[in-house]
Chains A and B, each alone.
Chain A
Amino acid sequence: MDAVIIQILNGLDKGGAYALIALGLTLIFGTLGVVNFAHGALFMLGAFVAVSVNGLLSLESVTLDPTKLTPWGTPAEIRTKLAEEWFGTFGTTLIDYSVPVSIVVAIPVMLLIGLIMERGLIQFFYKRPHADQILVTFGLAIVLQEIVKAIFGANSISQSAPASLAGTIDVISGVAYPTWRMVYFFFSLTVIGAVIAFLQFTTFGMVVRAGMADRETVGLLGINIERRFTIVFGLAAIIAGMAGAMYTPILSPDYHLGMDFLVLSFVVVVVGGMGSIPGAVAAGFILGILQSFAAMEAVKQYFPGIDQIIIYLVAIVILLVRPRGLMGRKGVMET
């Protein structure tokens, strides 16, 4: 029983990440009608915002110690962290909390990246076929990941959660679970809630929803829908970036992270139904949990290798049974 509970928890934090990525992706579909293959890259960029923040906070001053030599004969380096030198224990705490701090940094950075992407590239592809959109954003994803690789290298760079959140907590007695994963689950719920509330209860959100439903009519009403859609793109970039930054203590980021999540996030969106926000969220959590269960030996002994293919299998079955995904609307992205 404990094992089942742990796998459900596990599916929830995994699903949180899937849902956050899919949320932004489906928002972009629904509003801009653009198939964004660079969305995984935005997640990856968010993760590297966290890496950079950590790197900046733990910048070191290097002094050479001529009395000690390295094995290759140069003077040994003495490294001190600048933040600690300047702020003492506060500096140490700041470094410890680099991941939460990076969320604050990620918001403006990702907004800027999102706006540049939309104004600089995506807006020219609104009227182009979906195939062109897929291809140009795929190219962009390659470019972004290669730039990250040139700066940060190809190895994974692990990030640690703040010491106070790094341990485990007892979810119910006897079932311990990593604290940071619980934090991530609640973080994802908060963000999802905030986005849905924003779309539901603000005038801006109302216009965006109206635009998702019938873009032309809203345009005819004299509302500048383009401007709002630009902001929606920025919003999606922020969501993906924050999701990436917060995920770094769970999964050590490397430059390929975006591509690893790309296929998965599309499967989530398609299973949920293109352009449906509740669908994307539900599909994210469902696929996360199914993936966790498929990894259990009790399941694997009957279906060897099921954990390798479960996500795709579910996608195929759902699409055949429910042609527009769980909550998709008619006519979206079918041509």
Chain B
Amino acid sequence: MAQFKGVSRRTLLKTGAAAGAALATPVFFTRGALAQDFLNAPKGGTVTLGFNVPQTGAYADEGADELRAYKLAVKHLNGEGDGGMLSTFSSKALKGDGVLGKKVAFVTGDTQTKSDAARASARRMVEKDGALMITGGSSSGVAIAVQSYCQEAGVIFMAGLTHSNDTTGKDRRRNGFRHFFNTEQTGRALAPVLEANYGKDRKAYHLTADYTWGWSQEGSIKKYTEAIGWETAAAVRTPLGAGDFSQYIAPVLSSGADVLVLNHYGKDMVNSLTQAVSFGLRDKKVNGKDFVIVVPLYSRLMAQGAGKNVAGIFGSTNWHWSLQDEGSKAFVKSFGQEYGFPPSQAAHTCYVQTILYADAIARAESFNPCGVVGALEGYEFDGLGNGPTLYRAEDHQCFKKVLVVKGNENPTSQFDLLEVVSEVPREKVTYDASGPDFNPKDGKAELGECNAGK
């Protein structure tokens, strides 16, 4: 049975009966029929979370991994299984008995990696299933659209995989939080490693997926490679989902560039990298230097798709299962025992976001979204992988170590595809939120007011 906004079934029946005569009389829907001070306050013994992940479309596999992580997090919160990262988490507010005495329950939705569909599915979970928090997603467009919906509706949004600066930049919202890193951090972390390996005198050719995330990434990589003395030969936009990128790769050879930067993700990245390698780019010598390829944003699932073509190629990632800190080890152990393979970075960020949200409720001692916002802003924690981490108050972005990785030359298993080259410390990837890349052209981004939906 559907419940929305404190309208009981009986009131609804009455409304319906009166509908013919008094259509949409607002009085039936004014608040205060039941004493609640925020939307979807948990009733009974459970609190419901909404997991909004891509179940169809190109990112369905990544979405499936996110969902696995969410289910694991719910288990651990409810005290089942081995507790995972709860034992390594610096906050001890969670006791493994649910949250504030209520069991954690969840509903799932399909974002289809389309902003429309993602918002619709988030709406369904909020309006019909009474979800108090929405989390998940595998692209920045979706994250930004769902985040602004959650702000308007008055629930918390804990972003899943979203890498564009805008999510916590010009489109930041008070009710939205991002644990994942962004293109700015990728640029800051990656550039010094590129300099150490490839020197200061390089000419880079960018192939960029022609949409906001691609532009964001291209901008950041350009900014930080040019800062170490690299030249940008050209930056070419490619249509999303072009499939065959050869017509964009062919001109690279005659451009005089000696580095190819692929600002692609997912299927586009698998194809453009495979095709670039087949054009023999990596065997070329240009300007007396070996031609190299860089893939700024890596994921293990994509590396799996591209197979042996990733060997030796640098990139960055939010987290990797081979990390040896206690938190990561505990998470990999419980995830691996549950599912038989290691988690992806998307799974990690989703798991951590769920734990952080539950912990914020426990510390605030309230389910009220505004309490959660207060508990998360400026929160400093450790033990969830990536070392000591700060949820910065002014833009709700997490600051933590960023990993620079390289495609493994000699993988020992089908999961052992990336090798962590460097764990770039948090200070190096901390930036000023008032910079031009994080604000609209003609103003200053604001988080706005917290909204609890009432």
**Is any CB of A less than 8 Å from a CB of B in the complex?**
yes
**Does B278 contact A180, Cβ atoms closer than 8 Å?**
yes
**Does A168 contact B337, Cβ atoms closer than 8 Å?**
no
**Does B342 contact A71, Cβ atoms closer than 8 Å?**
yes
| Contact A153-B61, Cβ < 8 Å, known A178-B279, A251-B271 | yes
Interface residues of chain A, those whose CB is within 8 Å of chain B, are: 2-3, 6-7, 10-11, 13-14, 70-74, 76-77, 149, 153-158, 160-161, 166-168, 176-178, 180-181, 249-252, 254, 256, 260, 291-292, 295-297, 300, 307-308
In the assembled complex, 23 residue pairs joining A and B whose CB atoms fall closer than 8 Å, in A order, are A2-B254, A6-B251, A13-B246, A71-B333, A71-B336, A72-B332, A72-B333, A72-B335, A73-B336, A76-B413, A154-B58, A156-B267, A157-B305, A158-B306, A161-B278, A168-B283, A180-B278, A181-B246, A251-B244, A254-B58, A292-B246, A296-B251, A297-B234
**Does A155 contact B304, Cβ atoms closer than 8 Å?**
yes
**Does B58 contact A256, Cβ atoms closer than 8 Å?**
yes
**Does B274 contact A308, Cβ atoms closer than 8 Å?**
no
What residues on A are CB-neighbors of B241 within 8 Å? Answer: 260
The digit string for B297-308, where 1 denotes a CB below 8 A from any CB of A, is 000011011111
**Does A3 contact B336, Cβ atoms closer than 8 Å?**
no
A45: shortest Cβ distance to chain B, in Å?
Answer: 17
**Does B60 contact A71, Cβ atoms closer than 8 Å?**
no
Q: Does B329 contact A (CB under 8 A)?
A: yes
A335: shortest Cβ distance to chain B, in Å?
Answer: 34
B62: shortest Cβ distance to chain A, in Å?
Answer: 8
**Does B278 contact A10, Cβ atoms closer than 8 Å?**
no
B335: shortest Cβ distance to chain A, in Å?
Answer: 7
**Does B278 contact A73, Cβ atoms closer than 8 Å?**
no
**Does B336 contact A260, Cβ atoms closer than 8 Å?**
no
What residues on A are CB-neighbors of B271 within 8 Å? Answer: 156, 251-252
**Does B301 contact A176, Cβ atoms closer than 8 Å?**
no
Known: A71-B321, A176-B280, A250-B275. 10 other contacts (CB 8 A): A2-B254, A70-B336, A71-B336, A72-B342, A155-B301, A155-B305, A158-B274, A168-B280, A252-B267, A307-B247
What residues on A are CB-neighbors of B239 within 8 Å? Answer: 307-308
**Does B244 contact A72, Cβ atoms closer than 8 Å?**
no
**Does A3 contact B250, Cβ atoms closer than 8 Å?**
yes
**Does A158 contact B58, Cβ atoms closer than 8 Å?**
no
**Does B342 contact A252, Cβ atoms closer than 8 Å?**
no
Q: Does B236 contact A (CB under 8 A)?
A: yes
**Does B250 contact A160, Cβ atoms closer than 8 Å?**
no
What residues on A are CB-neighbors of B59 within 8 Å? Answer: 154
Q: Give CA–CA (A89, B25) in the complex, Å.
A: 80
The digit string for B313-339, where 1 denotes a CB below 8 A from any CB of A, is 000000001100000010011111100
What residues on B are CB-neighbors of A168 within 8 Å? Answer: 278-280, 283
Interface residues of chain B, those whose CB is within 8 Å of chain A, are: 57-61, 210, 234, 236, 238-239, 241, 243-244, 246-248, 250-251, 253-254, 267, 270-271, 274-275, 278-280, 283, 301-302, 304-309, 321-322, 329, 332-337, 340, 342, 413
B319: shortest Cβ distance to chain A, in Å?
Answer: 14
What residues on A are CB-neighbors of B61 within 8 Å? Answer: 153-155
Which residue in A74, A77, A291, A308 is a CB contact (below 8 Å) of B413?
Answer: A77
**Does B243 contact A74, Cβ atoms closer than 8 Å?**
no
Centre residue among B210, B250, B340 by max chain A CB count within 10 A: B250
**Does A154 contact B57, Cβ atoms closer than 8 Å?**
yes
Q: Which 6 A-B pairs have the closest CB atoms?
A: A72-B336, A154-B60, A295-B247, A168-B280, A292-B247, A6-B250
Q: Give CA–CA (A3, B236) in the complex, Å.
A: 15
Centre residue among B253, B301, B322 by max chain A CB count within 10 A: B253
Q: Give CA–CA (A156, B306) in the complex, Å.
A: 8
Closest B residue to A76 by beta carbon equals: B413
B376: shortest Cβ distance to chain A, in Å?
Answer: 30
**Does B309 contact A295, Cβ atoms closer than 8 Å?**
no
**Does B244 contact A158, Cβ atoms closer than 8 Å?**
no
A80: shortest Cβ distance to chain B, in Å?
Answer: 13
**Does B251 contact A3, Cβ atoms closer than 8 Å?**
yes
**Does B251 contact A74, Cβ atoms closer than 8 Å?**
no
What residues on B are CB-neighbors of A2 within 8 Å? Answer: 254
Q: Give CA–CA (A324, B57) in the complex, Å.
A: 35
**Does B267 contact A3, Cβ atoms closer than 8 Å?**
no
B23: shortest Cβ distance to chain A, in Å?
Answer: 38
| Contact A71-B307, Cβ < 8 Å, known A2-B254, A10-B246 | no
Q: Give CA–CA (A158, B336) in the complex, Å.
A: 25
Q: Give CA–CA (A169, B419) in the complex, Å.
A: 32
What residues on A are CB-neighbors of B413 within 8 Å? Answer: 76-77
What residues on B are CB-neighbors of A155 within 8 Å? Answer: 61, 267, 270, 301-302, 304-305
B60: shortest Cβ distance to chain A, in Å?
Answer: 4
Q: Give CA–CA (A160, B307) in the complex, Å.
A: 9
Which residue in B58, B244, B253, B305 is a CB contact (below 8 Å) of A250?
Answer: B244
**Does B246 contact A14, Cβ atoms closer than 8 Å?**
yes
**Does A71 contact B305, Cβ atoms closer than 8 Å?**
no
Closest A residue to B279 by beta carbon equals: A178
What residues on B are CB-neighbors of A7 within 8 Å? Answer: 247, 250-251
Q: Give CA–CA (A260, B60) in the complex, Å.
A: 17
Q: Give CA–CA (A39, B413) in the complex, Å.
A: 37
Which residue in B267, B322, B336 is a CB contact (below 8 Å) of A254?
Answer: B267
**Does B306 contact A71, Cβ atoms closer than 8 Å?**
no
B368: shortest Cβ distance to chain A, in Å?
Answer: 37
What residues on B are CB-neighbors of A71 within 8 Å? Answer: 321-322, 329, 332-333, 336, 342
**Does B251 contact A167, Cβ atoms closer than 8 Å?**
no
What residues on A are CB-neighbors of B340 within 8 Å? Answer: 74
Q: Give CA–CA (A154, B332) in the complex, Å.
A: 23
**Does A308 contact B210, Cβ atoms closer than 8 Å?**
yes
A248: shortest Cβ distance to chain B, in Å?
Answer: 10
Q: Give CA–CA (A250, B275) in the complex, Å.
A: 7
